[in-house]
Amino acid sequence: MKAKKIGLADTTFAKVDMATIAIEIIRKKSNAKIIRYTVPGFKDLPVASKKLIEEDNCDIVMALGMAGKAPIDKECAHEASLGLQTAQLMTNKHILEVFVYMDEAKTDKEVYQIASNRTLKHALNALALLKGKTELSKYAGMGKRQGKEDEGPYKVR
Amino acid sequence: MKAKKIGLADTTFAKVDMATIAIEIIRKKSNAKIIRYTVPGFKDLPVASKKLIEEDNCDIVMALGMAGKAPIDKECAHEASLGLQTAQLMTNKHILEVFVYMDEAKTDKEVYQIASNRTLKHALNALALLKGKTELSKYAGMGKRQGKEDEGPYKVR
Amino acid sequence: MKAKKIGLADTTFAKVDMATIAIEIIRKKSNAKIIRYTVPGFKDLPVASKKLIEEDNCDIVMALGMAGKAPIDKECAHEASLGLQTAQLMTNKHILEVFVYMDEAKTDKEVYQIASNRTLKHALNALALLKGKTELSKYAGMGKRQGKEDEGPYKVR
Amino acid sequence: MKAKKIGLADTTFAKVDMATIAIEIIRKKSNAKIIRYTVPGFKDLPVASKKLIEEDNCDIVMALGMAGKAPIDKECAHEASLGLQTAQLMTNKHILEVFVYMDEAKTDKEVYQIASNRTLKHALNALALLKGKTELSKYAGMGKRQGKEDEGPYKVR
Amino acid sequence: MKAKKIGLADTTFAKVDMATIAIEIIRKKSNAKIIRYTVPGFKDLPVASKKLIEEDNCDIVMALGMAGKAPIDKECAHEASLGLQTAQLMTNKHILEVFVYMDEAKTDKEVYQIASNRTLKHALNALALLKGKTELSKYAGMGKRQGKEDEGPYKVR
């Protein structure tokens, strides 16, 4: 199989270099080619992701961003997120949204760990999605989480 | 009539394997062909649903997802929902949104039952929609519900 | 003039059979042809309306839906409403949004009356819009309401 | 120069006949041709505006609407506003949103005056935009307002 | 290399002449050609930005706007922001959103300084983005801010 191309769109706004974390795991687990595109903030990620797909022929993109603690930051993340939805529908390619909120945890260290774990797990998701539509079906409904421990399925029987 | 194709887009984030519930009832009630596509979370469902329609020629899709309890989870579901709206309008095909909120009920068991019932009833809705535009007209205004008991129409006369 | 086609998209979720109310008044006031399309809930109305326009050549559509009392119901109505906006812009046809909120009034009977009155008045609006761009201009700024009494214009002179 | 065409989309919901105010000032200040399109409410304005541009070749449109006092009215205005954004991007023409909120002032008279002033000033904006991209540059950053007094620029030096 | 074209879309609503600040720094740091487009308010910026790209062949656009202090102003900024997302996805060009909120600081002078600093830094971002996809990668995850001091990356090791 021809090597796949994975686009990594990241930001200077983030306080963690998420792309480098993604690059490390992708290189370790696959022979995928990586194209990086760094933009100022997460509102610049949707068009960057679309350009990675349409100008660089990426098969999938990870949109890596961090949102600040103010309400306006959440609104901005919401707008970026809607842009990512539209970009995916215009290209028929997945753009995995890997967003971290700076108030998801109390300490800088914990937020860093969330960012790192979420990036890592979504990099693996990207590799799985490149393999086919049912590659993740064995985990369907299993309460998988990125950035924290898996919750697992409801135990109701 | 040629067998119809039903797409099932589901997630590893959910805590119930909703697709398997859908597959069971669809197989029992029809000879429709089923194509499954499992993605990480519900924000990945819109493009997955569109790909099921455009790459696999599905006639209708069920987008099966579960949302967590935090406000950000509701925002994410809202974004996914808007993506599903756009995906339907771009393809002129129905994508039935079968979303369950983890705080819809108090116990895991009740949430599981809602997920199961909603999936089942929307699978039947999908089969009805495949039959034609007026197949459901006999139930119009009848207060039908998915995930819980039907409410029935207002009794005002 | 060739008879116009009016699409009626309605739902099984609603607790009032709004389409039947619309059909009655349209038949009484015009020779328009009516095409009906019943879907499960109001999130299914945008694509149904677009299909009525593009597959059945409807000249205008009434999207008839009811929203429940929970906050999530309002969010869903908001999503459906945005879908209806996009559907109109993609087709250059009006899709009159005839939505009723189950908490608009205190008793079932009052909600029923709102649904009935709103459907009736918007059916007349649909017929007027089919006649031309200035058919309603004589009522411009007159504080017309659907579902309740007209408010009339400000009396400031 | 060939006379420009200005579209005026207005509503029967509004309690002020804003289009007539716009017509008066446009006629006084220009030889632009005016095409009017009256619809029931402001959610009908986006497609009406797009039709004015695409069916009647309007060079610019004023979307004239009023929003009620309830939260749902604001939500509706928000939906209409997003529709107007999309309509502009689909046509590459300006659609000036001239919306008035019925709770912007305490008395009917004041709301009327806001509606009148906002319509008037935006009609002048429409005429300026028709002249070219830098026609308004002399007022850039000057704190111009429609519906009330200009605020002027910050005085910080 | 052929000189690039930078579009500057600005408003008469703003209380700071942000475009002039941008012009000064762009002229000082590059030989880029500048095309300006002044519109009434920030809701007019998305289509103005798209016109700068499609009619004037701008390679990148800065959308310069200021939002008032009322909740409705934030809603309007949100709508404009979504329009900018769509405009970028329709053109595959960056439109840097340079929005300032009038309540970001307590005094007029501070808001002016935020507007000035944000405009300046985003002008430099625009020049960097014109150079290529990895021009900003050396600053990825470095907690860069526009309008205030950089925060820097998390120090967790």
What are the two backbone dihedrals, phi and then psi, of residue A70, each rounded to the nearest 5 degrees? -75, 155
E157 vs A148, more confident: A148
Instruction: State mean pLDDT over A44-63.
Output: 98
d(C-alpha B152, C-alpha C15), whole Å: 6
Q: How far is D139 from chain C (nearest CA, A)?
A: 31
Cβ neighbours for B1, distance < 8 A, ≥ 6 positions apart = none
Count CB-CB contacts under 10 A for residue C14.
27
Query: Residue D38: which of C95, C136, C154 has the nearest Cβ?
Result: C136
Statement: residue C46 has pLDDT above 90: yes
Residues of chain C contacting B153 with CB distance shorter than 8 Å: 15-17
Measured CA to CA in angstroms, residue B23 lies from A140, B33, B118, B123, E93 at distances of: 13, 10, 13, 9, 43
Q: Higher-confidence residue: A67 or C2?
A: A67
Give the helix ranges, DSSP H, for D3-155: 18-29, 45-56, 71-91, 108-131
Is C74 in contact with D79 (Cβ distance < 8 A)?
A: no
H helix and E strand count, chain E = 4, 4
Q: Do E141 and A55 touch (CB under 8 A)?
A: no
Q: How far is CA B42 from the centre of its chain?
A: 12
Give the β-pairing of A95-101 and A60-67: parallel
What six digits make up the tokens of E62? 């800065």
Shortest Cα distance from B39 to chain C (angstroms)?
22
- C45-70 mean pLDDT: 97
Q: What is the pLDDT of residue D1?
A: 61
> For residue A70, what pLDDT is reported?
87
How far is it, in rounded angstroms, from Cα D82 to Cα C85? 8
- Chain A interface residues (partner E, CB cutoff 8 A): 10-20, 35-40, 43-44, 46-48, 50-52, 54-55, 72, 75-76, 79-80, 82-83, 86-87, 90, 108-109, 111-112
Q: What is the pLDDT of residues E71-130, one digit of tens each?
A: 888 999 999 999 999 999 999 999 999 999 999 999 999 999 999 999 999 999 999 999
Give the C-alpha distances (Å, rounded to integers) separating E61 from C81, E32, E52, E129.
31, 12, 7, 11
One of 2.40.50.140, 3.40.50.960, 3.30.465.10, 3.40.50.300 is the CATH number of C5-139, namely: 3.40.50.960
CA–CA separation, A69 and A71 (whole Å): 7
Total Cβ atoms within 10 A of residue B131: 12
Element (H, E) at B46: helix B45-54
Domain segments of chain D as ranges: 5-139
User: Average pLDDT, whole number, for chain C?
Assistant: 96
3-class state of residue E156 by DSSP: coil
Residue C1 binned pLDDT confidence (cut-offs 50, 70, 90): low
Spatial distance between the Cα atoms of B6 and C108, rounded to a whole number of angstroms = 38
Test the A interface: residue of E69, E151, E156, E157 with most A CBs within 10 Å:
E156
Alpha carbon distance E8, E51 (integer Å): 11
Q: What is the structure's pLDDT at A16?
A: 98
Q: What is the pLDDT of residues D115-125, one digit of tens each?
A: 999 999 999 99
Q: How many of the other CB atoms lie within 10 Å of CB of D1?
A: 6
pLDDT of residue A1: 61
Which region among A71-75, C8-12, E96-100 has the lowest average model confidence (pLDDT)?
Answer: A71-75
Strand pairing class (C60-67; C5-11): parallel
Interchain contact, B85 vs C79, CB within 8 Å: yes
Residues C73, C77, C81, CA angle at the centre, nearest 5°?
170
Q: What is the mean pLDDT of chain D?
A: 96
| Cβ within 8 Å, pair E40-D141 | no
For residue A89, the surrounding DSSP H or E stretch is helix A71-91
Q: How many helices (H) and strands (E) does chain C have?
A: 4, 4
Chains in contact with chain A (at least 3 beta-carbon pairs closer than 8 A): B, E
What's the rounded mean pLDDT across residues B28-46? 98
Cα-to-chain-centroid distance, residue E147:
11
DSSP structure string for D117-134:
HHHHHHHHHHHHHHH-TT
With a CB cutoff of 8 Å and minimum separation 6, the contacts of B91 are: B50, B53, B54
With pLDDT > 90 as the criterion, what percentage of chain A qualifies?
92
When pLDDT is averaged across residues E14-29 and rounded to a whole number, the result is: 98
Q: Is A75 exposed, middle or buried (0-12, 13-18, 19+ CB in 10 A)?
A: middle
Q: What is the pLDDT of residue B2?
A: 79
Task: Please give the backbone phi and psi of residue B103, each rounded to the nearest 5 degrees, phi first.
Answer: -110, 20
Percent of chain C clearing pLDDT 90 (strictly above)? 92
Whether residue E156 has pLDDT greater than 90? no
CA distance D106 to D95: 28
Give dist(CA E96, CA E119) in Å, integer: 10
- pLDDT tens-digit series, residues B68-101: 998 888 999 999 999 999 999 999 999 999 999 9
Contacts of A38 in chain E (CB under 8 A): 133-137, 139-140
- pLDDT computed for residue E2 by the predictor: 80
Tell me: pLDDT of C28 over 70.
yes
pLDDT value, residue B70: 87
d(CA E66, CA E52): 20
Sheet-wide strand order for A33-39: A33-39, A5-11, A60-67, A95-101
Instruction: Determine the pLDDT at residue D152.
Output: 97
Q: Give which of B20, B36, B38, B84 to mutate to test A binding, by max A Cβ within 10 Å.
A: B38
Residue D70: pLDDT over 90: no
B62: which strand partners?
Answer: B8, B96
Residue B157, pLDDT above cutoff 80: no
| Interface residue ranges in chain C relative to chain B, Cβ cutoff 8 Å | 10-20, 35-40, 43-44, 46-48, 50-52, 54-55, 72, 75-76, 79-80, 82-83, 86-87, 90, 108-109, 111-112
Residue A1 burial (10 A CB sphere; 0-12, 13-18, 19+): exposed
d(CA E135, CA B12): 36
Q: For the sheet containing D95-101, what is the strand order?
A: D33-39, D5-11, D60-67, D95-101
Interface mutation vs chain D, best among C59, C79, C88, C138, most D CBs within 10 Å = C88
pLDDT in tens, D103-152: 999 999 999 999 999 999 999 999 999 999 999 999 999 999 999 999 99
pLDDT of residue E1: 61
Q: Do chains A and E touch (3 or more CB pairs under 8 A)?
A: yes
In chain C, the percentage of residues whose pLDDT exceeds 70 is: 99
Which of B113, D81, A39, C14 is CA-nearest to residue E73? Answer: D81
